[in-house]
Amino acid sequence: MLNLVSAPLQNYFLPNDIGISALDCTEAFRLLSPREKLYAHYLSRSAWYGGLAVLLQTSPESASIFVLLQRLFRKQPAAQLESMATAAGLSPEEYQAFLVYAAGLYANMGNYKSFGDTKFIPNLPQEKLKALVWQSQAFQDSPSEMEALWDSCSTLLFSLEDQQKQLGLGDKGVTTYFSGNCCLEDAELAQKFLDSKNLSAYNTRLFKNKSEGKASYEVRLASAVNAFSFLKSPVSVITRCGRYDFEDCVFTVSRGDYAYLMKKVSENLEKAKDHAANENQKRMLEEYAQSFTFGSIEAHKEGSRFWIKDKGPIVESYIGFIESYRDPFGSRGEFEGFVAVVNKAMSERFAKLVSSAEVLLPELPWPKDFEKDRFLLPDFTSLDVLTFAGSGIPAGINIPNYDDIRQSEGFKNVSLGNVLAVAYATQKDKLTFLDEEDKDMYIKWKGPSFEVQVGLHELLGHGSGKLFVQDEKGTFNFEQDNVRNPETGEQITTWYKGNETWDSKFSTISCSYEECRAECVGLYLCLNKHVLSIFGHEDEDAEEVVYINWLNMVRAGLLGLEFFTPESKSWRQAHMQARFVILRVLLEAGEGLVTLKESIGKDGRPDALITLDRSKVHTVGKAAIERFLCKLQVIKSTADVEGGRALYEGYSAVSDTGSHNFLHLRETVLLRKEARKMFVQANTRVKGESVELVEYEGSAAGLIRSFTERFADDAEEVEAHLLELNKRDASCWC
């Protein structure tokens, strides 16, 4: 059965041989002082509790599936449950498929891939999984509860109806950021309302109904307190809860989303505060706790200001509703929290890059008026991740995402060293679409080149560029009469007004567009010899790093086709859309810089070959990226939404016409794709007056065990509250 499924159906299974690696942080944790270990422990607990909110942010069924799995594996670890699987009629391959599915649910914090937003289902018949559940010890102990739990999620667990195959708004997919009756027009109206009240969408969800014949919307803030709480907000905490009439509609701003989880987050932040290393950390945690207690983004922004001031901490962390990639409208943040320990040797390289930033910024291809008035030197550290709670783990981060803070107060960059070490290790026989000579160089130089790209992408990509703003008082942050558009030579005619932000203006394209701009900065500045020398690359080695960095980008652009959905003509992953756009730009540059040809592989199946002429990277390639990058920045600076959409959506188009049949190439990419790796993370446990690190093997069983032990002390309470939170809104998704 497992080998006979159709190719399209195969795309919704996680393969049994998927890569699963343990994130090693043993040495980093060992070197911490007892106080630092306690600080890291309580921050980790806070992150893990908050990370459960992602289940509720992903799909209507994710939380119920999570609880079902937790109850199965808490009663019987994977090895013990196997005998039940055999009794239920599962083959060894089918039981492994179930373990891989469970591991995938935990790793993605839901049943949609965090990278690509595609649904995945168990690679075994539904009746066999049901038989396993019925055979389990959990079912024997609580048959009625387990049957009810199965009934609540089993249909959606296996369903592949068109709308349920991917995340999206309205008829384009599934989302729980909006009630099921919302469409793009509702999202746009809600954004206008939020802007009018100077409210951020980051920690909100939107629910639509009817009231007195009018369209009525609930903007619900994530907070521990709700309408029934007797706890009053401090004067400094602004949430603007209440009822408002707006454009012939009614908007109600309420609190209490994920209330139980936000309470657990805040409680553990308060415990961490007792072990903070300095006043900045204490103030940071106080403000974060206020934010999660009362639903205030302003408090979170204040906490982020103290976080920026906390330079060079041994234990680094960040927590909140951060990245908006998975909101179909691009404004609402998914919860994430990380705790990591500084890797001093690697951090020294990034510190050198930071110190060179003010020299490198003028090298970027836009006039100085389009650059920030003052570059605020950020922290840039390499970290070994102890905890990363959320739907996935990135290679690098540039935060906070608040435009006003980034523009005038600064930011931090982090590169996640132990993630890079295992995520991008590549086997030659699994390298697709490259010729044999390139494969050998790719394996040797992929790690070093990606380290350079991540550093440039995060620091000088996301950290560069100015937004032209006219504030609520009418004051401009640029010389309106003198600044000229370098593309047209004319005066600037558009800019951000009042409470408008990059995300609110560019909404659905904002995430991918910004990732594309940052990737282009990385490509452009990696050609700089000084940059390469900072990372220890000179002469021929430096040229190999440049070549593989550019080759990796164009190959990634081809691989990105996996994340395009032809039926809705939409992209499901911001970074991969960005890389496809860059591939289009470099193909368009011509002169043989990049060639892309379809072929037949040695196995007789469709294949493709992408090549890069290294002799033209510094000339044809550089000129193409220079022109495109300048356009991207000018459009972003001037809030030219119309121009930005035309440019970016044009390059993002995937069709079967033109010089390359990208729709056909997409089928080849899907045929030869490799599943994204999953990570097993350690737990921390207080034992007496010390904290011990509990590690797990890099396997599906190890990943599962890490989650069942993660909430061992209050598992039943956590699961009950998750089901209650899920049930509260169940009728909203129909």
Helix (H, G, I), strand (E, B) or coil at 157: helix
Tokens for 153, please give them: 């999620």
Containing 376, the helix (H) or strand (E) segment is none
Taking the CB of residue 424, how many other CB atoms lie within 10 A of it? 15
- Pairing type for strands 249-257 and 242-246 reads antiparallel
Nearest Cα neighbor of 111 from 96, 101, 125 is 101
462 is in an annotated binding site: yes
Q: Angle between the 279-294 and 259-273 helix axes, to the nearest 10 degrees?
A: 170
Q: Does 400 sit behind a cis peptide bond, omega within 30 degrees of 0 on the bond before it?
A: yes
Tokens for 574, please give them: 């911001």
Tokens for 90, please give them: 């599962």
d(CA 511, CA 494) in angstroms, rounded, equals 21
Tokens for 462, please give them: 């996301």
Phi, psi torsion values for 119, nearest 5 degrees: -70, 150
Place of tokens 């109600």: 252
d(CA 303, CA 294) in angstroms, rounded, equals 14
**Distance, CA of 58 to chain centre:** 12
Q: Where are the alpha helices (DSSP H) in 59-125?
A: 62-75, 78-87, 92-108
What does 675-721 look like in DSSP terms, one character per residue?
PPPEEE--EEEEETTEEEEE---SSHHHHHHHHHHHTGGGHHHHHHH
CB half-sphere exposure, 157, CA atoms < 13 A: 26
Place of tokens 């006043």: 279
275 is in an annotated binding site: no
Q: Is 242 left (phi over 0), alpha (psi -120 to 50) or beta?
A: left
Nearest Cα neighbor of 395 from 300, 282, 255, 522 is 522
618 is in an annotated binding site: no
d(CA 414, CA 314) in angstroms, rounded, equals 13
Place of tokens 């193909």: 587
Helix (H, G, I), strand (E, B) or coil at 204: strand
Taking the CB of residue 162, how many other CB atoms lie within 10 A of it? 11
Tokens for 155, please give them: 């249909």
Instruction: Kindly state the DSSP code that residue 491 receives in the 8-state scheme.
Output: B
Taking the CB of residue 659, how many other CB atoms lie within 10 A of it? 9
Question: In Å, what is the CA distance from 96 to each residue of 99, 118, 121, 417, 700?
Answer: 5, 21, 13, 30, 8
Has 458 been annotated as catalytic?
Answer: yes
Q: Quick check: 361 and 80 in contact, CB under 8 A?
A: no
**Candidate list 61, 286, 316, 458, residue with the active-site label:** 458
Q: How far apart are the first and last CA of the chain?
A: 33
Q: Quick check: 208 and 217 in contact, CB under 8 A?
A: yes
* Binding site members for Zn(2+): 457, 462, 515
Catalytically active residues are 458
From the annotation, which residues make up the binding site?
457, 462, 515
